[in-house]
Structure 1
Amino acid sequence: MRQTARSHALPHVLSHALPHVLPSQSFDELLCGGGGPATVDRLRVSERSWRLLVVRALLDSAATAPVGPLPPSPDGWKLLSRAWAVSKETVEDLLAYPAVGVWAAHTLRRLRGTAQDDAPLWVDTGHLHAIAAAAAVRVGLEFRTDVPVRHGWVVLPALGAMRVPGRADWDVAEVSASAGSVRIAGRPLGGPDWHALTELRADGCTLLLDDTDPYRDLRGPAGVEPIDSAAEWQELFGPAWDILRRADTEVAEALAGGLVSVVPRPRAERFRPHSASSGDAFGTALASAPDDAEQFASTLVHEFQHNKLSAFMHLFTLYDDQGTRLHYAPWRDDPRPLGGLLQGVYAFFGVTAFWRRRGHALGQFEFALWRSQTAYALRAVGSADGLNDLGRRLVAELTRRIEPWLDEPVDARARAAAALAVADHRATWRACHLRPAPGTLRAHASAWAEGNPLPRTTDEPEPVPVPGSPARGIDTRAVLLRWLLADPAGFAALREDPGAVVAGARLEDIALVEGRTAEALGAFRARIDRGDGDPETWVGLGLAARAAGDPAADGLLARPELAMALHGELNGQADPLALGRALANGA
């Protein structure tokens, strides 16, 4: 059986349209969360058609748009066509460059009135000339054209950027090539004002470290920010690639065939890396500076999973959802729509598989944590409205593969730490994003005031999640657990002022993760008694109660949103642990 999808080839590029075909093996590999080099190559080819379709739509929409001080768009296309005639592969590679996809999608949205930007529209539409100039430079053409200047920088996609001082925020500069010499605003390419992109090289994989392209940031244009830490990225990339290759050669080779660039972002807090990807930018991963090679490898796996699923969903529909229903995502602080949850389970399936092969304490913690959270989310997304038959099949395949991992042995200390992190995240998310129905709250408050057992809550509908972000990251205690497992000496230094190193961390969190249960229980309870009972505190009380063997834990962790609301409804006059025990009895 072969699965087919409609071709998106440009009519002037191919003489006739051909459908993209995924052989059964490739189709099944992707549904199972995998995809070897041949499968990824097919996705890359299909993304070429998708990219050409978006660029064609952009050019059609821009036909009547103002060009400002730049040449008309057809001039840029003519230069691109000249380069195409010299080397079709070179031009196709450039058009497939991830940042070109973000440019095309962003500019098309601007032209259609669904996106905003501070830059004049001609700066976005005129970026075509910069793409054409980059293509011409790559194939060795002689040419002359004007390109946009953004805040004093001229950018040639996938090549680098030239600083052009003394220009307005939005301006133009000439790019020319003659007799083998390329000049931008009269300055030679390769001179002191030129910032070339760094290539991250390892045996079998090369990625561009893109710190210049204005469309590299995935969501919208960003300023050119040349980094001074490229050597550090290269120093980590070699070992990261070695980790990937030793863990799973096929996964590594597929990643090498699909990823093109990494967008560097500033270093984040330790054990809290930031990364992102976009369906508009197949082949890239945005990532904060990694703590170490292992984290770098995990991030590449994570974001490449997103890349694969996005490309797959350009060919096949998995769900029909308007985004109005929000869901719990065990890796996020905020509620997510169905599409976001589906992307998450696919990415964290890959993350779980990566950590499954790492045997040290932190690796076992990550494996135990993400196998539990991913399986939990798969059960949730599998029962959600909106998935079609193919979406349900994907969820079923991922579930089939991950369920045996739930029974694999893990070091007891890492398993206990992961269980704490899982319970913490699920309960804190509930406390932050769910609100009991007014009738439920009144009935519970009335029963408590009259000394009666609290009403049973098993038949009540689940509250609808409300958007928003918690005051601190829901992963705060998980980050402390990572410190404890991976760097005990560093963790010891946190004890005096944990919040100075781990944003949002408190002394009672340190006591909880270290197992000083009585101290943690008293501190959480005291915070609630003095009126500082935020979601993290109520859940911390439940976690400490569980460690102490107090049945209050069952009520506080299962319905923290109700415990908090009921305590407030009773003007803080009810004992928090007694409320937890009463809620547990009514569960």
Structure 2
Amino acid sequence: MTPPLPPLTQVVLKVHSRCDLACDHCYVYEHADTGWRSRPRVIGDAAVARAAERIGEHAAAHGLTAVRVVLHGGEPLMAGPAVIRRVARALRAALPEVCELDLRVHTNGVRLSPAYCELFDELGIRVGLSLDGGRAANDRHRRFADGRSSHPQVLRAVGLLREPRFRHLYAGLLCTVDVANDPVAVYRALAELEPPAVDFLLPHATWERPPQRPAGAGATPYAHWLLAVHRRWEADGRPFAVRTFDSVHRTLSGLPGLGEALGLEPVDLVVLETDGTYEQADSLRTAYDGAPATGMDVFRHSLDDVARHPGTAARQTGLAGLNATCRACPVVRSCGGGLYAHRYRDGSFDHPSVYCADLRALIDGLAARAGAVRRPAPPVDVAGPELSDSQLGELAMGLGGPQTVRALARSQLALTRAMLAAVHGSSGLTGSAAWDLLADLDAAEPGALDAVLAHPYVRSWAARRLSGDPGAGLGTLAELAAAAAVLAGRGDTVAVPVREGVLHLPTLGRLVLGGGAREALVTGGRTGWTARTDDGALTGPGDPRWQPVRRIGLAGGRVLALEDVDPQRAAHRWPVADRLGAAEYARWARDLAEAADLLDRDLPEYAAGLWAGLTTVTPLRPGPDGRDVSSAARQAFGAVGIARPRTAPGLALLLAHEFQHVKLGAVLDRWELYDRGDTRLFEAFDLSPRPIGSLFQAVYAHLAVTAFWGTRALADESAQARFTHWRALTDEAVDLLATSGALTPLGHRFATGARDSVDPWLKATV
């Protein structure tokens, strides 16, 4: 049986094929490949439309929940705002509803302006910038064609991204290593710009075009350079993510690496040029003319076709695809043989990396520094409590009472704890005061710790961290420890990072300090808490700059957090709203109270479980053209995201709909309901064809939707039409699910349960 193709989840989309700088180390224009000369300067409308369609169909066929697209060049900002807007809209329209688009642009920064930043804010595009250090270091290579410095323009661009209104767009900095530059000076120049992440890249080179190795610098100058940066980074408390270091720490702990440069994971990236042709990784341009070519394009070939290409397949085979020297190396699982392009010699890539000695010295050095004994994580029950057969039966029908949903919540908490332990284990942290305090609180005040760890966005942060997202910094561990210490009231003091002028305490709120504070000492006691910043200022929850998480009391003593301050809440498919003003908060409180009463009255069999598991509502920005939008983030049990609809009944419907996704997601964390390798697409609910997992989610959510309109149909003529519409579509979808041939035995039980829920509706007279 042929194994399923690994999906391509990252696309580098070239929107402009020329550049306004003349960097002498550029692999696109200065190395072996010359393919850029024959390509259109700007991507055309036909290529945009077809590329979006190909990405969308690939996401649907493989059931992808997220796709990353990086707008690239050349210099992508030379394409102009209209092209970038057209690309972003085409991509979002083409992706399945359940697939999140992580859209980014990588730029040299020269053309970045407030107008571009406003456009990126509107379109949800994060920005990465190329910068090699201070002015002298940067200008060794990154100059205009006439020799002028580009450094002032790049600093201006970074300044824009550091402004509070645009800070959320700041994805990080990319720095190409030059061993002629002072590593500590480069580090300090970058650290002063407060990036969320920095990626230090080895300059592209091969055995036929080896990297610069200055006389007297020893055999491994690149390792020494990076280890010098690592020492300074560690001493500063790891103020931002560094992908190279994080990747090595992860692989030393047995976790996957972060990207194709290190580690043995299959490469999941493809490049799309301005003429619609597919290419392999851009780094291959350094090998020989035509090295990245595939002979394929978006007009004739799918992304699955590209995944089958021999060049792509060669980077999918892990350890087996390396030469004998690499396979026998003790650090191969961290190194992965190095970047594929850097292995090129005499017409073949079957060699160790030209940086082999440097990579070995770097990995050994980082392993030695991480060798101190770490405090072990507390034991974790990953599975959590078992569910009885009757509880599974409730869930199979789309329902689930309070005890059943609370059991799911306990299971999710156990999973969050396991993921938190994995984050710590892969971090390389030694002597972490935050982790030690978390372990102490787990033993002495487990209730306080659980109250923080049950916050939905703790797990979403941990999932991002474990997936290698450079924006998921380790400072969150200190924030969690501080929040739990405040709830415990023991008087513990925790050093917490102040990011973008804000001190955040998960589940509690945020303190908007502004200014230059980088850290605060948070002390929680029985009478409250205080925060002392590194400039000596003392403050606490009585400060007018404190923005607490506001909680809305509902009938029956129930409480919902209206979460509009947590920086991790941006886990939803749609952009989150900013902090609500007093008037909008009052509207939310009014509508949530009315929606809760309506659910209790008209949908009690669903409402009872919903109130046992729903803890958090995150306001979203209004959808396109003002339409209702809502979301259940897969890694955030207990939370739903909603743009407040015009009516309270509309809000009630969205709450019921999204919590169905929340419940089913928790079930899928414990049990297999369908064959995840089934790549067929199924058409239901008048939506675009979708994979079996999306069909299952749609059926489960629409059980609550149909029930909602069924109860309202008794007294509302417009509801009667909607009930008739949804019961017919749900009936058809349940049949499609049951006969799909993709379900496990438990999945069949859920399909039978859905049928048991639908059949009575079919007999109802409207």
> In which range does the TM-score fall when normalised by the shorter chain?
0.5 to 0.7
Correspondent of 1:354 among 704, 708, 712: 708
CA shift for structure 1 position 322: 3.3
8 Å contact kept, 1:268–1:274: yes
Q: Which amino acid aligns with 1:203?
A: A
Deviation at 1:329, TM superposition (A): 4.0
The CA distance in 2 between the partners of 1:223 and 1:288, in whole Å, is 8
State the 1:305 CA deviation: 0.9
Per-residue CA shift, 1:133-170, capped at 9, x if unaligned? 111111213233222333332211111111121249xx
Contact 1:217 1:263 survives alignment (8 Å): no
Aligned match for 2:562, one of 206, 209, 218: 209
Cα deviation, 1:311-350, whole Å, max 9, x if unaligned, reads 1111211112236333324264x43221111111101111
Contact 2:511 2:546 in 1 (8 A): yes
* 2:530 paired residue among 164, 182, 205: 182
1:49 is matched with which residue?
414
Instruction: Give distance in 2, aligned partners of 1:220 and 1:132.
Output: 28
Alpha-carbon separation, structure 2, partners of 1:136 and 1:100 = 16
- Residue of structure 2 in register with 1:108 after alignment: 466
TM-score normalised by the chain length of structure 2 = 0.47
Whether 1:255 and 2:620 are equivalent positions in the alignment is no
Contact persistence 1:129–1:145 (CA under 8 A) = yes
- 1:224 CA drift (Å): 8.4
Alpha-carbon distance in 2 for matches of 1:223, 1:394: 33
- What's the counterpart of residue 548 of structure 2? 196
Instruction: Tell me, yes or no, if structure 1 residue 93 matches structure 2 residue 423.
Output: no
Letter in 2 for 1:364: Q
Deviation at 1:183, TM superposition (A): 2.0
CA contact (8 A) 1:59 1:73 kept: no
CA contact (8 A) 2:550 2:561 kept: yes
Q: Could you say what secondary structure the match of 1:30 adopts?
A: helix
Question: 2:476 matched to 1:127?
Answer: yes
The Cα shift of 1:278 comes to: 2.5
Alignment of 1:37 with 2:402, yes or no, is: yes
Q: Specify whether residues 73 and 268 from structure 1 end up closer, same or farther in structure 2 by C-alpha distance, changes over 3 A only.
A: farther
Contact 1:261–1:283, Cα closer than 8 Å, also in 2: yes
**Distance between the aligned counterparts of 1:295 and 1:234, measured in 2?**
15
SS of the counterpart of 1:387? coil
Q: For the residues of structure 1 that align with 2:418 and 2:705, how far apart are their CA atoms?
A: 32
The Cα of 1:194 is off from its aligned counterpart by 0.8
Check whether the contact 1:73–1:129 (CA below 8 A) recurs between aligned residues: no
Does structure 1 retain, via aligned residues, the 8 Å contact 2:588–2:644?
yes
Deviates more, 1:311-320 or 1:143-152: 143-152
Which residue pairs with 1:343 in the alignment?
697
Partner of 1:227: 580
Displacement of 1:76 after TM fit? 1.2
Q: Which runs of 5+ in 1 are unaligned?
A: 1-10, 65-71, 111-115, 411-587
Return the alpha-carbon distance in structure 1 between the equivalents of residues 567 and 420 of structure 2.
Answer: 17
Aligned pairs for 1:139-538 (under 5 A) are 139-167=488-516, 171-177=518-524, 180-183=528-531, 185=533, 186-204=538-556, 205-219=558-572, 225-228=578-581, 229-268=584-623, 272-322=627-677, 324-330=679-685, 332=687, 334-358=688-712, 359-410=715-766
Contact 1:268 1:289 in 2 (8 A): no
CA distance in 2, matches of 1:384, 1:53: 34
Q: 1:407 to 1:221 in 2, by over 3 A?
A: closer
SS at match of 1:208: strand
Distance 2:743 2:383 in 1: 28
The one-letter amino acid paired with 1:21 is: E
The amino acid across from 1:196 in the alignment is P
Question: In structure 2, the residue corresponding to 1:315 is in which secondary structure?
Answer: coil
Please tell me whether the aligned partners of residues 496 and 522 of structure 2 are also in contact (alpha carbons under 8 angstroms). yes
Which residue of structure 2 lines up, in the alignment, with residue 544 of structure 1?
Answer: none
Contact 1:213–1:224 (CA<8 Å) still a contact in 2? no
Q: 1:214 to 1:16 in 2, by over 3 A?
A: closer
* Cα distance in 1 for residues equivalent to 2:611 and 2:706: 20
3-state DSSP of counterpart to 2:729: helix
User: Given residue 45 of structure 1, which amino acid in structure 2 is its aligned partner?
Assistant: R
Q: Could you say if the C-alpha distance between residues 357 and 74 of structure 1 is closer, same or farther in structure 2, counting changes exceeding 3 Å?
A: same
Quick one: structure 1 residues 25 and 163, their matched pair in 2 at CA, closer, same or farther if it must change by over 3 Å? same
Query: 1:222 deviation in Å?
Result: 8.0
Q: How far did 1:21 drift?
A: 1.9
Give CA-to-partner distance per residue, 1:342-386, whole Å, 9 cap, x none.
Answer: 111101111111221113133223322221222222222223242
* In 1: Cα distance, 2:734 partner to 2:486 partner: 48
Distance 1:225 1:254 in 2: 29
Q: TM-score, normalised on structure 1? A: 0.60
CA distance in 1, matches of 2:764, 2:570: 39
Q: How far has the Cα of 1:221 moved from its partner?
A: 12
Q: Write the letter of the residue equivalent to 1:350.
A: A
Please give the root-mean-square deviation of Cα atoms over the aligned residues, in Å.
2.7
1:77 corresponding residue in structure 2: 435
Q: Deviations over 1:187-220 (max 9, x none)?
A: 3223111111111211122110001111112259
Aligned partner of residue 699 in structure 2, secondary structure: helix
Equivalent-residue separation in structure 1 for 2:402 and 2:737 (angstroms): 28
- Deviations along 1:465-513, one digit per CA (max 9) or x if unpaired, are xxxxxxxxxxxxxxxxxxxxxxxxxxxxxxxxxxxxxxxxxxxxxxxxx
**Residues 272 and 87 of structure 1: CA distance in aligned 2, closer, same or farther (over 3 Å):** same
**Distance (whole Å) between structure 1 residues aligned to residue 677 and residue 383 of structure 2:** 31
**Deviation per residue, 1:117-142 (Å, 9 max, x gap):** 4x3x6xx2220110111111112132
- Paired position in structure 2 for 1:582: none
1:83 aligned counterpart, secondary structure: helix
SS at 2:696's partner residue? helix
> Take 1:284 and 1:24, find their aligned partners in 2: how far apart are those partners?
26
Corresponding residue for 2:487?
138
Report the Cα distance in structure 2 between the residues aligned to 1:337 and 1:15, rounded to whole angstroms: 33
- Tell me, yes or no, if the aligned pair for 1:208 and 1:260 is still in contact at 8 Å: yes
Alignment length, in residue pairs?
A: 381
| Amino acid aligned to 1:176 | T
**Do the aligned residues in 2 keep the contact of 1:214 with 1:222 (CA within 8 Å)?**
no
Q: Residue 427 of structure 2 aligns with which residue?
A: 62
Determine if contact 1:152/1:167 at 8 Å carries over to the other structure: yes
Q: Write the distance in 2 (CA, Å) between the matches of 1:280 and 1:271.
A: 27
1:19 and 1:230 mapped to 2: Cα distance?
36
Q: In the alignment, which residue of structure 1 is the partner of 2:180?
A: none
* Aligned CA distance change for structure 1 residues 308 and 16 (closer, same or farther; 3 Å): closer
What residue number does 1:512 align with? Answer: none
Deviation at 1:16, TM superposition (A): 8.3
